[in-house]
Structure 1
Amino acid sequence: MTCEPSHHYQRLVQRAQRDGRIPALAVALHRADRPLWTYEVGAEPDTQFRIGSVTKTFTAILLMRCRDEGLLDLDDPVGRHIDLPAHGELPIRRLLSHTAGLQREPFGDMWDSMRAPDAGTLLSDLAQAERVLPQARRYHYSNLGMAILGYLVGKLRGGTWEEVLVDQLLTPLGLSGVTVRPTGKATTGYLVDAYSDHARPEPSTDFGAVGPAAQLWGTASDLARWAAFLADPAALDPDARVLAPATLDEMRWPLTVTDEALWGTGFGLGLILVPQGERIIHVGHDGAMPGFLAGVYGRRGKDSPPAFGAAVLGSSGTATEILSLPHTLLAEAAKRDPAEIPPWRPGEPAPESYRSVLGRWWSEGYEYVFTWRDGALRARRADDPAGKPPAIFEELEPDRLRTVSGREAGELLRLSRDPASGAVVLMHWATYRFTRDQQTFGS
């Protein structure tokens, strides 16, 4: 990254550390088109911090790998795959999106005793855990639900969640700085006193069977790389050894909002979604554990650099500056050091069979434009905003196409031709008529 933006990012970090009174703070920005940028205050390079619920993103990826390999369906009741004394009817999809209505924590007062249950206790105590809301009623965050899914992943793979995590995610992606337990480079977490500058160390506890929800430790550099993977998997895993990009697209689709009156944050399949305006979204997760906060997000959307992610890790359990800083850094880096603008280059002509489709059509009184770009037929409404993605079609057979993305995704487009000339003179998209001139319904 250039000198001037780097100095600006450094000051943002310094200000956050000062204002938040954070004993140790480590930050990293990952981009495929720039060298990794890191900065620390009160910490050495490659210092490990506890990342709390950022762990959930790893567990979610492991679960989706199981789905992609046919080991489960997201709409299966979780009890179909593991024997549970209660709540086995809850769908896996609902547990993963925090819409199952299950209580937040395992039964008991874990945060008083700081003793997490083992797997046997976690499962046997499920009979005493409450369903606090009806299923699918609304978002309700549940560490207990994610702990159950982590146990499920281990059972399906014939091992433990920890073993599967190391084998299927950490090793293939080269995330050696992310570990289940702290290494010798781990820092201490603190409670910074509200009315003085005294910082008291918080206890470091193994989370046992709740580990799939909040156990991990990591470095800022490795977690910025993980954030970039969540946003742009094809750039970091081009052979899709870890997960197909289409599966991450599915995970990033918002299934619920976290506040019904303020649609500022959504939740997909194990991922937090934070809209940034102008068709830009930050995807990742926050984390909180005694003495630690973390924010790990990748950026997607209009003019975003490739494989663009940020990680902010801090050793204070109350400094909310840690949680806002990754979003600020991503936005500032996109503005001050934007991605290169690729040049336009001439492409191949549209196939003869589609040339009579190109141009303007009308449906429901609105004008649409059909084009051929990058080897596919595309369509958009004439008054769509410039940044709105077009509908893209894929041929199933002659004169019958499927919409694979954009407007009316999944619907059929049928072409009707003039018998004499062979030109397309009428189309039906999602059963709506498309004509070359503006017509009333039933014309």
Structure 2
Amino acid sequence: MTSSFEALLPSTERALLHRVAVAQSEGRAPSFVGAVVRDGRTVWSGSRSCVDGHAPDADTQYRIGSLTKVFTAVLVMRLRDEGLLDLSDPLEKHLPGTGVGEVTVAQLLGHSAGLAAESPAPWWERTPGTDRPTLADVLGDQPLLHPAGRGHHYSNPGYTLLGSLVEAVRGVSWEEALRGEILEPLGLSRTTVQPVAPHAGGWAVHPWADVMLPEPAEDLGLMAPAGQLWSTAADLCRFAVFLAEGDDRVLAAATVAEMRTPSVPPAAEDRDGGYGLGVQLLRRDGRTLIGHTGSLPGFVACLWVSVEDGVAAVALANATSGPLTSVVAADLVRIVAEAEPRFPEPWRPLPEADEELLALTGPWYWGTYAYGLRLAAERGVVLEPLRGAGRGARFRALPEGGWIGLNGYYAGETLRVVRREDGSVSHLDLGSFVFTREPYQPADAVPGGVDEGGWRGL
């Protein structure tokens, strides 16, 4: 995400601050901080507070609750990329003795393992982690409520298991792995397990009166990988850039993109949402947002990234309920994306013309369906329907020849050129589908052959 346009227009900045002011006022939050990233840079931050002259800034810590899960998921994906585990591995392979070892790493990451949403009483968010000293205490007597892999069921204990998995495979504590593998490489110096001043205090606001009560801030112990962290708007903006672009010091861009892919279909009542591998997915205002929401007593938080727009937003507040940080963060993205839409990259010709590839471009026919094949960067190709509905896809060139599908129906399928004995092109083969230069030519390699009578009228 690069651009020569860094500063926002004054009208855009006012609209952003107005949205934060409305959120703080209507949500009755003691304080509210918002921030926006555009094209890899933090371009705006603003805040409102109930105390005149004492508004927080982008360096003030708030507790971010379940946003912590994204960090835990990144640690797990690093283990996968290093070959230390596979996402299809059963938990038992790396963390034996839990009693739920048949569930897979991928199912835990995507909340499809069928585990209970919460640990047994008392409520873990308002009680010290010492009350749950073992995984058995976190999981309880009935940890599995649904068939594994069948659907999405959000689970905080599932991320406790993932934190313990990281410790078992890496051989260090979750906190040490987090600090050395994510926080330090990305420069997130204000993201910590315990609060470090300046930080906001957590408050409960009375539902029927404008009075407040301080909320406890417990150390969650084993549950820390599900919701322990404190962070700032500035640090979360830097983390948002990582979620959009990747960083080879932490995770490659391809792995981060994999995390953004839906892991299981969303429930029918949540058709605009979904979950990848550690990140929430939301369809709102015509755009796809990825990130996570978070809450713990006294705090609510949200980070959303629109990769297509090159815009991300953070919203943080220190109230148990009321401020709708998920809605506000989405609105901050929308305000910037609509007021100052992203400039497309300039068209540029390919660096070289490959005559052999050029000869493959143009119309192809799968039966009577008409498709067009065009070249893309780095010897890739794009197959698109020329009329009506059809299965289009982008393809990446393979070192050994041919291409592999990147999206849609043909994701993972191989496209290859089939040549005749004289070296001329006979047809394209795409996962056994035959694409020919003409529809049903008798001499072409059409599966099942072509009727000898040829084309005819009524």
Question: Fold match, TM over 0.5?
Answer: yes
Tell me the equivalent position of 1:269. Answer: 277
Q: What amino acid maps onto 1:193 in structure 2? A: H
* Contact 2:393 2:406 survives alignment (8 Å): no
Tell me the equivalent position of 2:315. Answer: 312
Deviation larger for 245-254 or 211-220: 245-254
- Counterpart CA distance in 2 for 1:36 and 1:119 is 42
* Contact 1:350 1:372 survives alignment (8 Å): no
Tell me the equivalent position of 2:403. Answer: 401
1:148 to 148, 161, 170: 161
Alignment of 1:8-19 (within 5 A): 8-19=15-26
> Any idea what SS the aligned residue of 1:269 has?
coil
Tell me the equivalent position of 1:360. Answer: 363
Q: Which has the larger radius of gyration?
A: 2
* Contact 2:385 2:392 survives alignment (8 Å): no
Residue 290 of structure 2 corresponds to residue 289 of structure 1: no
Q: Shift in Å at residue 353 of structure 1? A: 2.2
- Counterpart CA distance in 2 for 1:86 and 1:401 is 43
Residue 40 of structure 2 corresponds to residue 27 of structure 1: no
Tell me the equivalent position of 2:383. Answer: 380
> Any idea what SS the aligned residue of 1:128 has?
coil
* Contact 1:271 1:283 survives alignment (8 Å): yes
Go from structure 1 to structure 2 and tell me whether the alpha carbon gap of 1:267 and 1:175 turns closer, same or farther (over 3 Å shift).
Answer: same
Alignment of 1:327-346 (within 5 A): 327-346=330-349
- Counterpart CA distance in 2 for 1:276 and 1:380 is 28
Q: Shift in Å at residue 84 of structure 1? A: 2.1
Tell me the equivalent position of 1:253. Answer: 261
Q: Deviations over 1:274-293 (max 9, x none)?
A: 12365x31111100100110
2:415 to 406, 413, 416: 413
Go from structure 1 to structure 2 and tell me whether the alpha carbon gap of 1:361 and 1:103 turns closer, same or farther (over 3 Å shift).
Answer: same
Go from structure 1 to structure 2 and tell me whether the alpha carbon gap of 1:122 and 1:262 turns closer, same or farther (over 3 Å shift).
Answer: closer
Go from structure 1 to structure 2 and tell me whether the alpha carbon gap of 1:39 and 1:244 turns closer, same or farther (over 3 Å shift).
Answer: same
> Any idea what SS the aligned residue of 1:397 has?
coil
Q: Shift in Å at residue 322 of structure 1? A: 1.6
When normalised by structure 2's length, the TM-score is 0.88
Q: Shift in Å at residue 374 of structure 1? A: 1.6
Tell me the equivalent position of 2:66. Answer: 53
Q: Deviations over 1:126-184 (max 9, x none)?
A: 46243111212321111111011101112211111001100100000001111110012
Deviation larger for 55-64 or 69-78: 69-78
Q: How large is the RMSD of aligned CA atoms in angstroms?
A: 2.3
Deviation larger for 6-15 or 103-112: 103-112
Tell me the equivalent position of 2:106. Answer: 93
1:103 to 107, 111, 116: 116
Go from structure 1 to structure 2 and tell me whether the alpha carbon gap of 1:208 and 1:21 turns closer, same or farther (over 3 Å shift).
Answer: same
Residue 444 of structure 2 corresponds to residue 431 of structure 1: no
Tell me the equivalent position of 1:230. Answer: 243
Tell me the equivalent position of 2:145. Answer: 132
Go from structure 1 to structure 2 and tell me whether the alpha carbon gap of 1:373 and 1:292 turns closer, same or farther (over 3 Å shift).
Answer: same
Q: What amino acid maps onto 2:436 in structure 1? A: T
- Counterpart CA distance in 1 for 2:258 and 2:82 is 15
- Counterpart CA distance in 1 for 2:447 and 2:160 is 54
Unaligned runs of 5+ in 1: none
Unaligned runs of 5+ in 2: 1-7, 50-54, 441-445, 451-458
- Counterpart CA distance in 1 for 2:367 and 2:429 is 12
Go from structure 1 to structure 2 and tell me whether the alpha carbon gap of 1:23 and 1:364 turns closer, same or farther (over 3 Å shift).
Answer: farther
Q: Deviations over 1:232-259 (max 9, x none)?
A: 22xxx2xx11001111121111122443
1:215 to 225, 228, 237: 228
Query: Identical aligned pairs, as a percentage?
Result: 35
* Contact 1:48 1:182 survives alignment (8 Å): yes
Go from structure 1 to structure 2 and tell me whether the alpha carbon gap of 1:441 and 1:79 turns closer, same or farther (over 3 Å shift).
Answer: closer
Tell me the equivalent position of 2:52. Answer: none
Q: Would you say how many aligned residue pairs link Structure 1 and Structure 2?
A: 430
Q: Shift in Å at residue 390 of structure 1? A: 4.1
* Contact 1:162 1:180 survives alignment (8 Å): yes
